Structure 1
Amino acid sequence: MESEPVSLIITPTTDTPVAAVMAQVQALLVDVMAELQTHLLSDDDVLGSLSAMEGIGRLVDAGRVMLAADVDARSDTRTQNESLARTRGCATGTDLITMVTRVSAREAKRRVRLGAKTRITQVVGATLPPRYPVVADALTNGTIGVDAAEQIVTGLSDLPSFLAPTDVDAAERGLVASATGTVTAENEGLPNAGFAFPADLIRGQVLQWKALLDPDGTAPAEGTVMAARSTFGFGQFRDGLYPLRGGVTPELRGVMNGIFDTYLSAHSQPVPAEPGRFPTAEEQATHEAEEQARIDAGEVIPGADQLEALDPRTGGEKRADILRGVFAAAARDKNTPTMGGAAPLVMVHVNAKDLLDGTGVGWADGVEAPLSISTVQRLVCAGGMQKIVFAANGEVLQLDMTTRFFTRVQRRAILARDGGCVIPGCLSPPNWAEMHHVIPWYRGGPTNVNNGVALCWYHHHTIDTSGWLIQLVDGAVHVKAPPWMGLGGDWLPANQHRAHTALGR
């Protein structure tokens, strides 16, 4: 795209409506967008254009916020003799805004709320400044976006009225400085002064200011009426998932973060090995000690340098698998309460023909959504099955007491041999492991120690697609890495219990 100088001459006068001037600006932007071909831009130009377009967007957003708030104020019958909305055939200011702009009512109300606290108001002939003038100035000059402004205004509005106005003003100046990257009296000499933080981090800083100014309100004491309590539940099944609903207190979030960080941390990664071989136990132990020292020194953030080639899961997926392991371990724990005399377990029902053919779905008790047949096969591999024969009318004709699952003694022996998941580099806790048939049970594989290995849920779930191969040679587990890992095509000893070597695993 050729670069040509662009000029726009706007000469607003008392006879020229502001709307006409904005129409000229809009026409210019339409011409720019029509010629914009982002795929032809250089790397520097595309980033510069992104920054410039965002600056334009911030100014446009500020104008939309101010105008929406003004339209809503003019439509308020409590303060206006004649409602602007009603003169245009609308019931409320929000209705009028949505009719003119075609945005949702939710977005219109969002703009009105922010604009009401950042606009100049006229009351009985007097001009009142914005409630949050520093945020208002940053909005109108385009140095702060609506999302960051909303975080600041909403957070400060929650503060109690008995606080000193000077303290709230200081918080406003400090937060705007953090959002815009300016140096003020509030942050001069402090770490990161002059750095502009994104809106997501501004949210955390708002909480810090609130905790400083109103610690009792931000973190109420336990037992008080206003104390927050963790809650958790499931939404309606949609798009293959049950959405989680609820929230956790800071204390529970800290507990959960501790568990997540432990298993996502960098020191849980395997030592880099030369192509064609896996690291020795001594190399792995040395690497883990070095990585832990780097974490303690602050040089490494837990979970920041995951080897994505070895584990393509996102952070959210890893946390979900960790949570799954925690619940699975709790279900197996002897101290977990029983239900009807039995340990908690998942009962899955599947048609016998579907299971053998690898088609259809399964159904878990208490869950209305179906399970894929591959998930059912994995659950049968790990937990076994019990055959029930029904008559056409639903009568139970036969109950097979033979189950295909590893007994507690077999599981204990396999874990003693493998020490956890057999995939090299995986340090998932042993008590989280599932038992896997090397030769699948539906292909005649026996359920015994010499055909069973320990796999974490993730590697068990992906063993048929990840490329890892497993075999037992004279009772010892060997694995072959996927070709894409570049480790050669040799069968190599798998993870084993650290007690098998003199220095430990």
Structure 2
Amino acid sequence: MNSTAALLDQVVADLGPVLRMDAPMGRSDAEKMDILRAAGEVQRLLDALVVETVASVDGRPEGPGEPSFAGRFGCRNTNELLQRVLRVDAAGAGRVVKAAKVVYRETELTTGAPLPARWPELRGALLDGVVGVSGLLAATGPIEQAGRRVGCEDRVRADAQLAAFARGCAIADADATTAESIGESGPPATPDDLRLFSQVIATYLDPDGAEPADDRAMRARFLSFGREKDGGIPVHGNLLPDAAGQFQRLLDAYNNPKVDGPAAPHASGVMFRPSDEDSTDDLRDSEDTPERDLCPAPYDSRTPGQKRHDALAAILTIAARHDDVPTLGGAAPTLVVSVTAEDFASGRGWAHVDGIDTPVPVSVAAHTACAGNVQRVLFDENGRIRSISTTDRIFNVHQRRAIALRDRECLIPGCHVRATWCEYHHVRDHAYGGPTHTDNGVALCWWHHRSLDTSGWEIRMNNGLPEIRGPAWWDPDRHWRYPQHLRSLQQAGAP
């Protein structure tokens, strides 16, 4: 029996041994390119077969009490059925359904004969394996968005031009509606090429659009959170230009481009000086010893995208404690982080952020209570509340202003994030008896606060003044040093 399904089963049976026994790994580059070319043709033809099959399915029940096509196979709708049988995600199944609507052919009422598709030339390109689902949707999408503002004749003309472009041909006559005036001109178009060409055509056919651009932008604005993926929460959105511009300015202010990392401690124009607790030999070394060859190591290996994330996290922390932010439950919006007392004490395990299903490392819970808009709740193994972080372990507004005035910016050398943008860190942790006092608090930006335990930078207080000891790649001698601006103040007040 030469059925379509039987032929496809034979293709599967033939490809299986090829992939298992005759892998492309040992082939030449030319042979690998031939494999990719042939596989692309097969893939596009399979796309066409899937789309045509879905287009032939009536999604509605045949009669009262009868199941739909998808219902006969235990699925709620065509999208779910495609997810299961094609093993694609919901978005992939949705693209197939959308493509099927493009090539769908209604039947003539009297004879039952199929009528031409809405996009007949592009449907032909699909059946010939010239375009796949991506190319078909890229070509038709911009014009379909115009809806009834593009007439039938204009759509048919655009269909012919787009199909010719997909095949690598040129339309000799701009008014042509058939393939008769098509001549060879170049390679077949990619989906991106088709999308751009379709957008140009749509601009000519619908120059004014559905509504002014600012109205469309206003209606299209949104912000949403996706499902957890690899421990992160995807964010999707469409910002208005003024909101995007303001956000970009905040990011620029936080991620100041002048930041190149810390200057070498032995270089001229030294940023830090050894504290009084260092030996005189250490002082002599820092003043008289020529600059050393330091171990090459990146100071800040974050990508631009990671820096933007960290800036947003800092902005949200600042905004949540601002007086103009609406209250929630009678208080400023508070992020609640829960963790078992045992995990918190051991430093291992997982914590949970209220409103987010994804667990976070317990180290996050250790850092969160340093910000005024985060509350930490400790549970025992039975779920009973053991303790709640309260405002007495959080630096109040007056203390934060004083620390910001003293530190001026993030305490880590080379980081110029202003102290007013920073979080305030207990040098001696509150859980181990560290007081919530200006003599025990320093300003750290969101990133350096989160990475302090693993970055190699150390902080201590000496008579109410902060000192920094850098990692060995920055300072092989690992001296404790005062910030440069504090040294300047001390020198100015010296007799």
Q: TM-score, normalised by structure 1?
A: 0.61
Write the distance in 2 (CA, Å) between the matches of 1:487 and 1:37: 52
Residues 55 and 363 (structure 1), Cα distance of their counterparts in 2 relative to 1, 3 Å cut: closer
Counterpart of 1:460 in structure 2 is 449
Following TM superposition, by how much is the alpha carbon of 1:434 offset from its aligned partner in structure 2, in angstroms?
A: 0.6
Question: Which deviates more from structure 2 when the two are superposed, residues 226-235 or residues 159-168?
Answer: 226-235
Counterpart of 2:47 in structure 1 is 61
Q: 2:210 aligns with which of 193, 214, 217?
A: 217
Residues 157 and 31 (structure 1), Cα distance of their counterparts in 2 relative to 1, 3 Å cut: same
The alignment partner of 2:131 has SS state of: coil
Following TM superposition, by how much is the alpha carbon of 1:441 offset from its aligned partner in structure 2, in angstroms?
A: 3.5
Following TM superposition, by how much is the alpha carbon of 1:460 offset from its aligned partner in structure 2, in angstroms?
A: 1.2
| Contact 2:321–2:373 (Cα < 8 Å) also in 1 | no
Give 1:324's aligned amino acid. A
Following TM superposition, by how much is the alpha carbon of 1:149 offset from its aligned partner in structure 2, in angstroms?
A: 1.9
Write the distance in 2 (CA, Å) between the matches of 1:343 and 1:239: 31
Any residues of structure 2 matched to 1:41-190 within 5 Å, and which?
A: 49-50=35-36, 52-70=38-56, 72=57, 102-103=85-86, 110-111=95-96, 113-118=98-103, 123=108, 124=111, 128-165=115-152, 167-168=154-155
Give 1:102's aligned amino acid. V
Kindly indicate whether residue 400 of structure 2 is the aligned counterpart of residue 415 of structure 1: no
Write the distance in 2 (CA, Å) between the matches of 1:312 and 1:403: 34
The alignment partner of 1:327 has SS state of: helix
Any residues of structure 2 matched to 1:338-349 within 5 Å, and which?
A: 343-346=332-335
Following TM superposition, by how much is the alpha carbon of 1:374 offset from its aligned partner in structure 2, in angstroms?
A: 1.9
Write the distance in 2 (CA, Å) between the matches of 1:477 and 1:343: 33
Counterpart of 1:331 in structure 2 is 320
Following TM superposition, by how much is the alpha carbon of 1:377 offset from its aligned partner in structure 2, in angstroms?
A: 1.6
Deviations 1:352-401 (A, max 9, x none): 676445467667677788765322221234459999999xxxx9999999
Following TM superposition, by how much is the alpha carbon of 1:159 offset from its aligned partner in structure 2, in angstroms?
A: 2.0
| Contact 1:384–1:403 (Cα < 8 Å) also in 2 | no
Write the distance in 1 (CA, Å) between the matches of 2:162 and 2:210: 19
Kindly indicate whether residue 300 of structure 2 is the aligned counterpart of residue 310 of structure 1: yes
Following TM superposition, by how much is the alpha carbon of 1:328 offset from its aligned partner in structure 2, in angstroms?
A: 1.6
Give 2:393's aligned amino acid. R
| Contact 1:479–1:494 (Cα < 8 Å) also in 2 | no
Write the distance in 1 (CA, Å) between the matches of 2:45 and 2:254: 41
Any residues of structure 2 matched to 1:171-320 within 5 Å, and which?
A: 213=206, 215-217=208-210, 222=215, 228=219, 230-231=221-222, 247-248=237-238, 250-251=240-241, 254-255=244-245, 258-259=248-249, 262=252, 268=257, 270-271=259-260, 310-312=300-302, 315=305, 318-320=307-309
The alignment partner of 2:146 has SS state of: coil
| Contact 1:337–1:343 (Cα < 8 Å) also in 2 | yes
| Contact 1:152–1:175 (Cα < 8 Å) also in 2 | yes
The alignment partner of 1:217 has SS state of: coil
Deviations 1:93-134 (A, max 9, x none): x88x969x9337977775354234336777448675442245
Counterpart of 2:425 in structure 1 is 436
Residues 202 and 181 (structure 1), Cα distance of their counterparts in 2 relative to 1, 3 Å cut: same
Any residues of structure 2 matched to 1:382-393 within 5 Å, and which?
A: 382-383=371-372
Higher relative contact order (CA 8 A, sep 6+): 2
The alignment partner of 1:435 has SS state of: strand
| Structure 2 alignment gaps of length 5 or more | 175-184, 272-296, 490-495
Deviations 1:235-263 (A, max 9, x none): 8889866676x854544774476358637
Counterpart of 1:298 in structure 2 is none
Following TM superposition, by how much is the alpha carbon of 1:334 offset from its aligned partner in structure 2, in angstroms?
A: 3.9
Write the distance in 2 (CA, Å) between the matches of 1:196 and 1:277: 61
Residues 235 and 36 (structure 1), Cα distance of their counterparts in 2 relative to 1, 3 Å cut: same
| Structure 1 alignment gaps of length 5 or more | 1-14, 187-192, 283-306
Counterpart of 2:286 in structure 1 is none
Give 1:440's aligned amino acid. D
The alignment partner of 1:160 has SS state of: helix
Write the distance in 1 (CA, Å) between the matches of 2:353 and 2:484: 34
Write the distance in 1 (CA, Å) between the matches of 2:377 and 2:49: 69
CA RMSD after TM alignment: 6.0
Q: How many percent identity over aligned positions? A: 27
Give 1:311's aligned amino acid. S
Q: TM-score, normalised by structure 2?
A: 0.62
Give 1:30's aligned amino acid. G
